Amino acid sequence: MEPGALLEVEVGPVAHGGHCVARHDGRVVFVRHALPGERVRVRVTEDTGGSYCRGDAVEVLRASPDRVAPPCPWSGPGRCGGCDFQHVSAGAQRALKAFVVAEQLARLGGLPDVDVIVEELPGGLLGWRTRMQFAVNRRGMAGLRVHRSHSVVPVKDCPIANPALGVASVLSRRWPGARGVEVTGSAAGAGGRSVRRLGHRSSALVEGPQVGQERAAGRDWQVSGGAFWQVHPAAADVLLRCVLDLLAPRPGERCVDLFGGVGLYAGALAAAVGPAGSVLCVEGDAVAAADAVVNLASTPWASIRRAAVDAGLVAGLSAYDVAVLDPPRSGAGREVCEALAAGPARAVAYVACDPAALARDVRTFTSAGWRLAELRAFDLFPMTHHVECVALLVPAPDGPPVDPLGEAGDATPGHPG
């Protein structure tokens, strides 16, 4: 189908990636800006030549009751691609994400019966994001990219950005020669915003502190530019509470925090297990690991190892009781999960920002004789399709179950099947 062609379709279920699945002439069409149950006119935006093409709903012929007027004036077909669900009511956004998590766990994880509820965070749908990266076009104007495109839509503001960032003043300036501009700030901590001009090979701080202060679990955390920190102001507290509730660390226990960042979970675990216990935080990024050294200084029974998390490292860990696993979007991967499943932990809390990667890794654990004991999900990224999950994995007393998917299970993320 030629890009630009118009199709009329019945919209089916939501799929991983912020679009819904429709069919036209026997082919799958991934439709953005639509909702399940709607009838829409779609403009084709991309045809891969394979089994599916992509398009935007440009006219709604029969609307879902979950449809609302997008609060952002820059969202919509062919415009800013930053948000996926501006046209969806708050409750329906969470229901769509719950559907996707359950579907990924069923299809890729071999677990067809997981009830998923996506929990709301305080603060509403707008004004939450404490880190924004804008692209800059050839004329030096900052904006956000069109979905799956290099085109930049100049914007005057961003309604999901936290007011502490003051992004309007950054967007009103010209940034000649820059590749992008990043604004970070802490809604909960102190220090004001930081603005970085992003070049093609380097970045330069143009305003604000290089080292930020965040607040979670009733204390401050040093987070330098470039180190990871959750972008929703309530996220660190919510995830920390969840991980502690699920693992229930006991005084004297030994913990590992893999992909530990600036030491958020390691710090909370150290407080929970006390000086009779121990915590090892493993983080690959030099800047984050240096922040972790500062953040864990008051609990010397917590140590930091700057290293890549891989199967060899996990297999070489000395005895531990509980583990936190918080990998980047690609997931921890089969080898790391197999090494953890072969280890001595009584429980692993897996914090995941991609439900497909989580589902694949959960399947590795269950194939090795572990079970998914609990799953919680949080709407850390309102208006977007992104969702954060925390899975509690424990060794199953009866050994490996029969893998319902078999060795050749489908591992194609986002494919409607």
Ligand X SMILES: C[S@@+](CC[C@H](N)C(=O)[O-])C[C@H]1O[C@@H](n2cnc3c(N)ncnc32)[C@H](O)[C@@H]1O
Write down the least CB distance from residue 65 to ligand X, Å: 36
Based on CB atoms, which residue is closest to ligand X, 204 or 286?
286
Please, which residue, 22 or 242, has the CB nearer to ligand X?
242
Q: Quick check: 261 binds ligand X (CB under 6 A)?
A: yes
What residues pair up with 53 in beta bridges, in sequence order? 29, 47
CB-based contact 153:79 (threshold 8 Å): yes
The question of whether 20 is a catalytic residue gets the answer no
CB nearer to ligand X: give 5 or 293.
Answer: 293
Residue whose CB is less far from ligand X, 152 or 314:
314
Question: Per CB under 6 A, which region of 101-109, 175-183, 282-290, 409-417 contacts ligand X?
Answer: 282-290
The DSSP symbol for 221 reads E
Q: Are 128 and 232 in contact (CB under 8 A)?
A: yes
288 binds ligand X (CB under 6 A): yes
Find out whether 206 and 180 touch, Cβ atoms under 8 Å: no
3-state secondary structure of 25: coil
In this chain, which of 326, 354, 361, 379 binds ligand X, going by CB under 6 A?
326
Interface with ligand X, residue 265, by CB under 6 A: yes
| Shortest distance (Å) from residue 303 CB to ligand X | 15
The residue (of 70 and 260) whose beta carbon lies closer to ligand X is 260
Nearest 10 degrees: Cα torsion 170, 93, 19, 28:
180
Binder of ligand X out of 175, 228, 365, 378 (CB under 6 A): 228
Cβ atoms of 403 and 363 within 8 Å: the answer is: yes
Considering 72, 255, 281, 353, which one is annotated as catalytic?
A: 353
Does 308 help bind ligand X (rule: CB under 6 A)? yes
Residues 189-225, buried b or exposed e (16+ Cβ, 10 A)? beeebbbbbbeeeebeeeebbeebebbbeeeebbbbb
Instruction: Out of 259, 320, 378, 381, point to the residue binding ligand X (CB under 6 A).
Output: 259
DSSP string, 130-160: SEEEEEE-TTSBEEEEBTTSS-EEE-S--TT
| Chain residues that interact with ligand X, rule: CB under 6 A | 228-229, 259-262, 264-265, 283-285, 288, 308-309, 326, 328
Residues with catalytic roles: 353
